[in-house]
Amino acid sequence: YVSRCPEEEKFIKRKQKKKYQEEHTFGQQPLYEIRDLEKKRH
């Protein structure tokens, strides 16, 4: 892992976070909710 300048680091983190949030708010979320329900049931 190569350390970058703080600005680039921040930008990349923000991009990853945004990507993560998008992946988990569209389509993905119901899956997680279902999984949580399954866990609670067991």
For 1-42, what is each residue's pLDDT tens digit? 566 688 888 998 998 888 877 766 655 555 666 677 777 765
Measure the CA–CA gap between 33 and 38, rounded to whole angstroms.
Answer: 9
* pLDDT recorded at residue 25: 62
Measure the CA–CA gap between 10 and 41, rounded to whole angstroms.
Answer: 40
pTM over 0.75: no
* pLDDT recorded at residue 26: 56
Q: Cβ distance 25 to 33 under 8 Å?
A: no
Q: What residue segments make up the domains of the chain, in order of their start?
A: 6-40
SS3 3: coil
